[in-house]
Chains A and B, each alone.
Chain A
């Protein structure tokens, strides 16, 4: 009887650990950027959501760990849509200028310093310095949260796909009704036009 209880206790502890580890990896990790704060800077307090990594593609090491890095410019046989659509100073740049050849799950700055995909703004900031500065102060990019409290920033890659970063055109919402189209009408509840945008959170 005692032995059985012991086994149960171990089993329970094991399940508990799995549950905890599963929970932390599944949770959306929001990072604060304390390292950006230098004395003399009036940077607001903000958090950054994790980057939109492609499922099944990341971590890169699952395929690249055993592959020999090949720096030559070429038509890729696997990431074909990237090599075809690549349009980000394409004459000056190729994969390994940003992706670290030895540990593919990291990005590499020009200085040789390795950074994670969660803090890719440092990589973009190497060339786009003025934009990076505006981003830090909350001027460039979308902001949510509180005007007098914690703000939620977005990483560069949330809006700009890094391999062709130009903001993609979108369909506009309908124009206002022209005065000539306004008619007096009595609508039932079902006939009232619905708004194209839902609740704003």
Chain B
């Protein structure tokens, strides 16, 4: 009798509800990362969207990140969250009649903005074209691996391409998590803590300006730039997208510095300023020089103006 009862209980069929309940608990327990149960992990996990946080919440996030970076790189980072200056809309000018294709801008950008050295990430690509050949309509035929003894080379010209900071950015439209957006001063930024690495934005960008961290980014410790902005050059994670931000950590200031690529250019081909200020260099260029924007027919409305000063 006793034995019989035991048998009955053991063979009692599990109801559908019980099965679902049990498996839900089981799966949930699997998802808890056993090795990472410190508070900072959960804070990061439940971090709000950057634009929905109030000041105190932003402060807490910055403090957490500075601690994380110190742990990871053994260096003190100063993470700024400087907001856009009212009445500014940043614009960029690049003089194609002056550029000699020396790639100083590429590596100044890498240094200033903490791009990964291995695997290599460059925000700026310098394209080389043969004079007289099909050009802006056919960027596929550009050469980006040129490496002669000296530049400029006879019969060629150069066109650096980076994020064009579109007024109508296709990359922002496709982001499923709103991890990338256009700031009031026109800079298109990425929140590396919200990016899920789906790379839709890379597919949407007609300029090939976005880069993906395929592996954990590596930078020599002594080369880290610790003066960073949350939406700009702070160290990135594996699996997030990054791009040019017009050196948001330098340019957002009063007085604000020029982007690193402007300051390094040995021929002064790169110009930067406020499109809303009639006295700015960029306005002078637009009003007095022959100016064009890349792939204007796509209606992306770049704020990056190529021009010819001669």
Query: Could you tell me if A148 and B256 are in contact, using CB atoms closer than 8 angstroms?
Result: yes
Query: Quick one: given A144-B258, A176-B120, A187-B218, are A195 and B223 in contact (CB under 8 Å)?
Result: yes
Query: Could you tell me if A143 and B258 are in contact, using CB atoms closer than 8 angstroms?
Result: yes
* Closest A residue to B93 using CB positions: A139
- A199 touches which of B111, B149, B309 (Cβ 8 Å): B111
B209-228 toward A: CB 8 Å interface, digit per residue (1/0)?
00000010011110101000
We find that the number of chain B residues with CB closer than 8 angstroms to chain A is 62
B11: shortest Cβ distance to chain A, in Å? 53
Q: Which secondary structure characterizes the binding site on chain A?
A: loop
Q: How far is the CA of A65 from the CA of B100 in the complex (A)?
A: 42
Q: How far is the CA of A199 from the CA of B113 in the complex (A)?
A: 11
Query: Could you tell me if A196 and B107 are in contact, using CB atoms closer than 8 angstroms?
Result: yes
Of the candidates A149, A172, A199, A201, the one having the most CB atoms from chain B within 10 angstroms of its own CB is: A172
- A184 touches which of B215, B260, B266 (Cβ 8 Å): B215
Q: Which of A1-9, A13-21, A55-63, A163-171 contacts B (4 or more CB under 8 A)?
A: A163-171
A179: shortest Cβ distance to chain B, in Å? 10
Q: Which of B18-26, B129-137, B267-275 contacts A (4 or more CB under 8 A)?
A: B267-275
* Closest B residue to A146 using CB positions: B255
Query: Could you tell me if A194 and B221 are in contact, using CB atoms closer than 8 angstroms?
Result: no
The answer to whether A22 has its CB under 8 Å from any CB of chain B is: no
For this complex, 9 residue pairs linking A to B, each with C-beta atoms less than 8 Å apart, are A138-B271, A139-B309, A172-B150, A175-B146, A175-B147, A176-B125, A184-B215, A189-B220, A194-B220
The answer to whether A159 has its CB under 8 Å from any CB of chain B is: yes
Question: Could you tell me which B residues sit within 8 Å of A by CB distance?
Answer: 95, 100-104, 106-108, 110-112, 117-120, 122, 125, 144-152, 215, 218-221, 223, 225, 251, 254-258, 260, 262-268, 271-274, 277-281, 284-285, 288-289, 309
B166: shortest Cβ distance to chain A, in Å? 20
A136-148 toward B: CB 8 Å interface, digit per residue (1/0)?
0111111111111
Query: Quick one: given A141-B268, A147-B258, are A182 and B119 in contact (CB under 8 Å)?
Result: yes
A98: shortest Cβ distance to chain B, in Å? 23
B208: shortest Cβ distance to chain A, in Å? 12
Query: Could you tell me if A147 and B107 are in contact, using CB atoms closer than 8 angstroms?
Result: no
Query: Could you tell me if B147 and A147 are in contact, using CB atoms closer than 8 angstroms?
Result: no
- A167 touches which of B100, B148, B280 (Cβ 8 Å): B100
